[in-house]
């Protein structure tokens, strides 16, 4: 069962990338407060995104011809795990690097690839995900935003929601209906590259529980799109968006979201002292993290073999997000269980933010229940 | 692959008291003297998949190193546990697809599907943990051994509970084989250190380590 997930070693030439990433982390990340570093892939730092691009650490898997590094998924794995484990602010380039660039590479025209990919690799062009709508969450095929043909291209009307970082990005890749009605489900959907500065696009921020503005509502009020805004084939949007979700779900980011908080708490234990209960908790998290990391690397090996490990990635994401969510819950009990102990305000504040944000870990990118459904189908259950 | 297939034929042909002599005669009890642990690991899973309770792994270990460490015995137990988990998952899927209630296979109910997904996750996690533990030869580093056995032992209650939940009452009937596998998994969970033992060991090492962060720590075991 799932025999494709085998213990794999990261190739030496990819391991060799760590030094370069760590140098950038030392310069841009380590001095930042824990409260900032826990946000990591929601954190924004344009200078850092550009520095990664300049160092050749974005678009690692894209062909050299389009500005990429022409390397394999293991190279990206190494860079990404270093960034996340250190809590680097990667939110600005994250989505372009993880999925938008790959969707453009896979389905885009030559002109689209030439236009977007080199700037993504330089850390100058940022993308967001225009999938969810108020009435289309887990049931993504029920999107209602529509595009109709005009003489020069397309006219876009509708609304997206929960669009992470849209207010800071240049483009969204949006899934919209180009024919039929919502009842046609998977047929009649297409993807578009939408310029977020175009007339008729309104972006309205939504504050999250911690008071940060991470996600947004996007309104399209008769936005005129040129013909070349269509990405891939008209009507093939469903297959394309599933390929995009496979890119989204198969990265290693789903195990590291609480790593900075965990390490900060371990730092606290070094000072305050660790009894048996504390020691045991730390050990349990290390054991799980060790096995999850091995699984993440095993998924990366499937990507490197040219596969789309959709079911395997869902399995690792569900395990990984459960692990990430367990950490703040356990630390809250631990610190509360030692009421007379002094706790650094930074650690306490980071914990409170993590408790507020952790529920999102098993929502974003597909909910726990949806992922378990994918796994069950992979097990042959109908 | 071939090695495991031949080993499985021997296991299936020899039950009870005949097993150890047969394995000895065919040289399998000396496997660890000739092969790296990583290549013996699939054989350990094959033992688990049959809930063999003869001391095969322990004998292999003693023949290879006179006084095997707890770490070695723990990672070998983890591999057997992975094999039991794989078998329990197969049995549970088979049952879910054949047992019918309310006019359809119970595997068609979302509540059952979601439980089996969770079980599969824990089985796959156990397997990769066991493989990691078995990747370092006859003297597994303490951190690797601890991680492997902790993960395998922590998964055991979830795996056994879901297997039984999906099977219903038949699962605890003596004549039905399920309980042999779940009992063996419970027993191995306790052997050579359960999760709390290994978590304490691993936690102490982590807290005392100089590592920059947890990634750094795990990479330098
Ligand atoms: C932090 C964050 C960032 C996000 N960023 C983006 C983004 O950038 N772009 C974007 O497009 N979207 C984004 N999303 C949206 C995300 O993709 C959706 O939240 C997700 O798909 C779930 O949709 P929903 O929130 O409408 O929940 P719903 O679909 O309404 O689900 C609510 C509950 O019902 C359950 N449920 C639904 N259907 C079923 C079913 N068939 N069987 C069993 N249970 C079911 C769900 O599992 C969940 O528990 C983001 C979400 C979060 C939390």
Taking the CA of residue A130 as reference, the ligand 1 atom at the shortest distance is 11
User: What pLDDT sits at residue B194?
Assistant: 98
Place of tokens 């009842």: A183
Instruction: Please work out whether the CB of residue A94 comes within 6 Å of at least one atom of ligand 1.
Output: no
What domains, with CATH codes, occur in chain A?
12-126 (1.10.540.10), 129-235 (2.40.110.10), 240-378 (1.20.140.10)
Q: Classify residue A56 by burial, with Cβ atoms within 10 Å: 0-12, 13-18, 19+.
A: middle
User: What pLDDT sits at residue A250?
Assistant: 82
Nearest-CA distance B152 → chain A (Å): 10
**Token pair for B2:** 């071939």
- Mean pLDDT for A320-330 is 98
pLDDT value at A341 more than 90: yes
Residue-wise pLDDT for B169-189, tens only, equals 999 999 999 999 999 999 999
CA atoms of A241 and A102, how far apart (whole Å): 11
Residue-wise pLDDT for A28-41, tens only, equals 999 999 999 999 98
Residues 6+ apart with CB under 8 A from A367: A138
Q: Three-state DSSP class for A180?
A: coil
Is the separation of the CB atoms in B128 and A298 below 8 Å?
Answer: yes
CA atoms of A274 and A66, how far apart (whole Å): 52
Q: Classify residue A1 by burial, with Cβ atoms within 10 Å: 0-12, 13-18, 19+.
A: middle
Interface membership of B169 toward A (CB under 8 Å): no
How many helices, marked H, and strands, marked E, lie in chain A? 14, 8
Select the CATH number that applies to the domain covering B2-220 from these four: 1.20.140.10, 3.40.50.1370, 3.30.1330.20, 3.60.150.10. Answer: 1.20.140.10
Q: Three-state DSSP class for A277?
A: helix
Strand partners, A153: A226
State pTM to two decimals.
0.97
CA atoms of B162 and B119, how far apart (whole Å): 7
User: What pLDDT sits at residue A253?
Assistant: 80
Handedness of CA B158, B163, B164, B165 (dihedral sign): positive
Long-range pairs of B209-214 with CB within 8 A, sequence gap ≥ 24: B213/A85, B213/A86, B213/A259, B213/A260, B213/A263, B214/A85, B214/A259, B214/A262, B214/A263, B214/A266, B214/A286, B214/A289
Give the angle A173-A177-A182 at the CA atoms, nearest 5°: 130
Measured between beta carbons, which residues in chain A are less than 8 angstroms from residue B99? none
Instruction: Please work out whether the CB of residue A137 comes within 6 Å of at least one atom of ligand 1.
Output: yes
User: What pLDDT sits at residue A183?
Assistant: 86
User: Which residue has its alpha carbon closest to ligand 1 atom 45?
Assistant: A369
Measured between beta carbons, which residues in chain A are less than 8 angstroms from residue B198? 283, 287
- Mean pLDDT for A283-288 is 98
CA atoms of B151 and A55, how far apart (whole Å): 38
pLDDT band with cut points at 50, 70 and 90 for residue B220: confident
CA atoms of B208 and B88, how far apart (whole Å): 38
Place of tokens 């009870």: B16
Strand partners, A158: A220
CA atoms of A268 and A260, how far apart (whole Å): 12
Residue-wise pLDDT for A127-160, tens only, equals 999 999 999 999 999 999 999 999 999 999 999 9
**Token pair for A31:** 């001095």
pLDDT value at B1 more than 80: no
Nearest residue to A380 via CA among A333, A311, A331, A327: A311
ipTM greater than 0.90: yes
Instruction: Please work out whether the CB of residue A128 comes within 6 Å of at least one atom of ligand 1.
Output: yes
CA atoms of B105 and B111, how far apart (whole Å): 13
Taking the CA of residue A357 as reference, the ligand 1 atom at the shortest distance is 1
CA atoms of A381 and B10, how far apart (whole Å): 33
Taking one residue from A and the other from B, the number of pairs with CB-CB distance under 8 angstroms is 162
Long-range pairs of A79-82 with CB within 8 A, sequence gap ≥ 24: A79/A17, A79/A21, A80/A251, A80/A252, A80/A253, A81/A252, A81/A256, A81/A293, A81/A296, A81/B215, A82/A18, A82/A21, A82/A22, A82/A25, A82/B215
Interface membership of A129 toward B (CB under 8 Å): no
**Token pair for A347:** 């650690």
pLDDT value at A1 more than 90: no
């Amino acid at each position: 069962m799932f025999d494709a997930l085998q213990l794999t070693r990261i190739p030496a030439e990819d391991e060799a990338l760590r030094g370069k990433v760590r140098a950038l982390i030392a310069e841009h990340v380590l001095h930042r407060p824990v409260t900032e570093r826990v946000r990591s892939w929601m954190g924004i730092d344009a200078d850092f995104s550009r520095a990664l691009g300049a160092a050749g650490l974005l678009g690692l898997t894209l062909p050299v011809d389009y500005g990429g590094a022409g390397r394999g998924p293991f190279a990206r794995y190494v860079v990404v795990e270093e960034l996340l484990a250190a809590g680097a602010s990667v939110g600005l380039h994250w989505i372009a690097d993880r999925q938008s660039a790959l969707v453009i590479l896979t389905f885009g025209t030559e002109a689209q690839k030439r236009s977007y990919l080199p700037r993504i690799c330089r850390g100058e062009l940022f993308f967001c995900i225009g999938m969810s709508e108020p009435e289309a969450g887990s049931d993504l095929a029920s999107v209602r935003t529509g595009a109709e043909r005009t003489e020069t291209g397309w006219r876009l009307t509708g609304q997206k929601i929960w669009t992470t970082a849209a207010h800071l990005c240049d483009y969204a890749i949006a899934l919209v209906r180009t024919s039929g009605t919502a009842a046609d489900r998977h047929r009649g959907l297409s993807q578009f590259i939408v310029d977020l500065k175009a007339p008729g696009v309104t972006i309205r921020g939504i504050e999250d529980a911690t008071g940060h503005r991470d996600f947004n509502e996007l309104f399209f009020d008769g936005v005129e799109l040129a013909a070349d805004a269509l990405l891939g084939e008209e009507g093939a949007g469903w297959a394309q968006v599933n390929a995009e979700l496979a890119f989204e779900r198969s990265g290693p980011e789903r195990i590291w979201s609480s790593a900075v908080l965990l390490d900060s708490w371990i730092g606290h234990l070094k000072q305050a002292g660790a009894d048996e209960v504390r020691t045991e908790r730390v050990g349990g998290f290390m054991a799980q993290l060790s096995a999850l990391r091995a699984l993440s690397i095993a998924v990366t090996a499937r990507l490197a073999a040219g596969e789309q490990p959709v079911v395997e990635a869902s399995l690792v994401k569900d395990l990984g997000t459960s692990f990430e969510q367990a950490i703040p819950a356990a630390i809250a009990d631990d610190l509360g269980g030692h009421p007379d102990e002094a706790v650094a305000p930074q650690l306490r504040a980071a914990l409170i933010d993590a408790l507020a944000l952790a529920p999102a870990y098993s929502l974003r990118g597909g909910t726990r229940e949806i992922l378990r459904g994918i796994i069950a189908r992979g097990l042959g259950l109908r | 692959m071939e090695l495991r297939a031949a080993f499985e034929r021997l296991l299936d042909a020899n039950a009870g008291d005949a097993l150890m002599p047969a394995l000895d005669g065919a040289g399998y009890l000396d496997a660890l003297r000739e092969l790296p642990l990583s290549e013996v690991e699939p054989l350990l899973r094959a033992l688990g998949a049959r809930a063999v309770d003869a001391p095969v792994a322990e004998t292999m270990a003693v023949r290879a190193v006179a006084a095997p460490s707890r770490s070695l015995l723990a990672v070998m137990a983890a591999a057997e546990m992975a094999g039991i988990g794989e078998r329990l998952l197969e049995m549970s899927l088979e049952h879910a697809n054949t047992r019918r209630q309310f006019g359809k296979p119970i595997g068609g109910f979302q509540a059952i599907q979601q439980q089996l997904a969770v079980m599969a996750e824990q089985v796959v996690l156990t397997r990769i943990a066991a493989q990691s533990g078995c990747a370092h030869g006859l003297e597994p580093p303490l951190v690797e051994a601890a991680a492997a056995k902790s993960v395998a032992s922590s998964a055991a209650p979830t795996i056994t509970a879901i297997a039984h939940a999906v099977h219903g009452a038949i699962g605890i009937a003596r004549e039905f084989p399920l309980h042999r596998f779940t009992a063996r998994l419970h027993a191995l969970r306790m052997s050579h250190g359960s999760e709390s033992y290994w978590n304490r060991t691993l936690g102490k090492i982590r807290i005392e380590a100089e590592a920059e962060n947890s990634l750094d720590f795990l990479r330098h075991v």
